[in-house]
């Protein structure tokens, strides 16, 4: 079967393309403004990418068009698809029909941490020899790929499949959240805040979708959630038919952690008050520790002993674009991070602060998400950067509001730049050995990460020439 994917370079759709290819289908796709890591992953896997949405991409006609949720009426390829009667389906629906049926699905939902926590669960199951399939909205470094079918040849037991369960809508013709299609047996509800203001009117609207997810989880399944999240507890009050395990701070939490070093890089794990072992890893921040507790709980429901899960986490390498170290030049470390919500910005910076102590932290932030562009979280942005020493905000084209108010309210020195080149020049001029530069965006940010590392290397070269 020839499957053509519209919006193939989205993190979900690119991962789905790999699964379709592994099922034996011919896979092609269209997108615009592509950027790594998904574009490079698809090219490395030999999947043909077509720039833009020209109807000619659908000639000769594919057997099926899988439509990404970024597609809308008026898109030339969408209009051609509808006018010619090509068969089409949303990505989540295709995944449910062709991959998830008959699997033990572990779904990881929540406003923050889905990619990292999904990666942790998949790695724990892999480390335990369970060979899980997975679809993750990023690339786990332990696997080097964002999706695979998984399973052991000739083994009859259920095949585990870990899926990042997003609350965003499925397609222009299916406004249900993606995760409604997945029907997980094990569900992590990692946290819940207001986001995606372009499709949700308020928090209650998101809670309604989360409760639709809860309704699909079997009575013999498991729901795992933080003990301190009142927004999620309100969801469960609407009705819950599945056993619940809690993690994190709070007397009701069965899964808890004790920090053994500041910053979250070394901690002990407790289950029902009994010490299970210690995790020592490269991750930072209490949010990472809590993600680990959720992953351990989910893996235990799948049959993995906590002690085995802890050993796996000690070898966990994180996910690309989640505090990924992209370069270190003359002692200046440059990180790429996907944070695009005030809470994610704050927890990322706080985690780094706990790990590097008094070292200077430069935060470079692009307000790119639809919610950011609408200005919904304006009042929360300034305080979210308190753990940094300096903040450079990028005013991208199309941002519907000015960042002046954020600068005025900033608890640390902050400024706005209109160009990527100016940001790079600022950092090259000011950064010194020991500094940490965290670049935050949910997009490609004009390739600033590689450009900055290259500029720092050029500075190093020029300094060496000057002293020779």
**Tens of pLDDT, residues 403-443:** 888 899 999 999 999 899 999 999 999 999 999 999 989 87
Give the CA angle between residues 186, 309, 335 to the nearest 5°.
Answer: 95
Distance CA 460, CA 467 (A): 11
CB environment 346-365: b (16+ within 10 A), e (fewer): bbbbbbbbbbbeeebbbbbb
Which residue would you say has higher pLDDT here, 288 or 39?
288
Q: Span 83-95, mean pLDDT? A: 97
Answer yes or no: is pLDDT of 257 > 90: yes
Contact assessment for residue 126 and residue 134, using Cβ atoms and an 8 Å cutoff? no
Per-residue confidence band for 135, with pLDDT thresholds at 50, 70 and 90: very high
pLDDT for 434: 94
Q: How many CA atoms lie within 13 A of 460 on its CB side?
A: 13
Answer yes or no: is pLDDT of 371 > 70: no
- The fold for domain 324-467 equals 3.90.190
CA nearest neighbour of 171 among 84, 91, 53, 76: 91
- DSSP for residue 302: T
Contact assessment for residue 99 and residue 149, using Cβ atoms and an 8 Å cutoff? yes
Domain ranges of the chain: 2-90, 102-313, 324-467
Answer yes or no: is pLDDT of 377 > 80: no
Q: 338 is written with which tokens?
A: 């996907």
Contact assessment for residue 456 and residue 332, using Cβ atoms and an 8 Å cutoff? yes
* 298 contacts: CB under 8 Å, gap ≥ 6: 106, 108, 121, 186, 188, 222, 224
Q: Span 102-123, mean pLDDT? A: 94
Residue-level length of the chain: 468
Q: What is the CATH number of domain 2-90?
A: 3.40.50.720
* 307 contacts: CB under 8 Å, gap ≥ 6: 276, 277
Distance CA 230, CA 360 (A): 35
Sheet strands side by side (includes 104-109): 147-148, 133-135, 160-164, 104-109, 186-189, 222-226, 244-247, 255-259, 266-271, 274-280
- The fold for domain 102-313 equals 3.40.1190
Q: Span 120-131, mean pLDDT? A: 96
């Amino acid at each position: 079967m020839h499957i053509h994917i519209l919006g193939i370079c989205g993190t979900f759709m690119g991962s789905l393309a790999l699964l379709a290819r592994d099922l034996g289908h011919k896979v092609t796709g269209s997108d615009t403004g592509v950027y790594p890591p998904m574009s490079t992953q698809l090219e490395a896997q030999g999947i043909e990418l077509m720039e833009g949405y020209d109807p000619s991409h659908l000639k000769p006609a594919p057997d099926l068009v899988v439509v990404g949720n970024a597609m809308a009426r008026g898109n030339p390829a969408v209009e051609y698809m509808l006018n010619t009667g090509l068969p089409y389906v949303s990505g989540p629906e295709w995944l449910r029909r062709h991959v998830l049926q008959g699997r033990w699905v572990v779904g990881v939902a929540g406003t923050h941490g889905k990619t990292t926590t999904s990666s942790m669960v998949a790695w724990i199951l892999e480390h335990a020899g369970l060979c899980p399939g997975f679809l993750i909205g990023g690339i786990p470094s332990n696997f080097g790929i964002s999706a695979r079918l998984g399973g052991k040849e000739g083994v009859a037991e259920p095949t585990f499949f870990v899926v990042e369960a997003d609350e965003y809508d499925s397609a222009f013709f299916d406004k249900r959240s993606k995760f409604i299609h997945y029907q997980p047996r094990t569900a992590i509800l990692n946290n819940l805040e207001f986001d995606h203001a372009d499709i949700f009117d308020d928090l209650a609207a998101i809670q309604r979708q989360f409760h639709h997810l809860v309704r699909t989880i079997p009575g013999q399944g498991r729901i795992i959630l933080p003990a301190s999240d009142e927004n999620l507890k309100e969801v469960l009050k609407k009705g819950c038919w599945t056993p619940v395990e809690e993690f994190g701070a709070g007397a009701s939490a069965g899964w808890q952690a004790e920090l053994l070093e500041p910053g979250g890089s070394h901690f002990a794990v407790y289950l029902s008050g009994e010490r299970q072992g210690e995790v020592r890893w490269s991750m930072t921040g209490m949010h990472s520790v809590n993600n680990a507790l959720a992953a351990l709980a989910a893996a235990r429901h799948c049959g993995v002993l906590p002690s085995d899960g802890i050993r796996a986490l000690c070898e966990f390498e994180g996910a690309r674009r989640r505090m990924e170290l992209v370069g270190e030049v003359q002692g200046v470390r440059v990180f790429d991070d996907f944070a695009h919500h005030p809470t994610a910005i704050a927890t990322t910076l706080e985690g780094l602060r706990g790990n590097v102590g008094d070292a200077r932290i430069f935060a470079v932030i692009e307000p790119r998400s639809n919610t950011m562009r609408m200005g919904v979280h304006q009042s929360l942005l300034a305080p979210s950067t308190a753990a940094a020493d300096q903040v450079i905000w990028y005013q991208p084209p199309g941002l519907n509001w000015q960042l002046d108010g954020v600068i005025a309210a900033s608890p640390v020195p902050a400024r706005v730049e209109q160009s990527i080149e100016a940001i790079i020049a600022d950092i090259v001029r000011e950064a010194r050995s020991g500094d940490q530069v965290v670049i935050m965006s949910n997009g490609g940010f004009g390739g600033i990460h590689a450009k900055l590392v290259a500029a720092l290397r050029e500075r190093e070269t020029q300094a060496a020439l000057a002293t020779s």
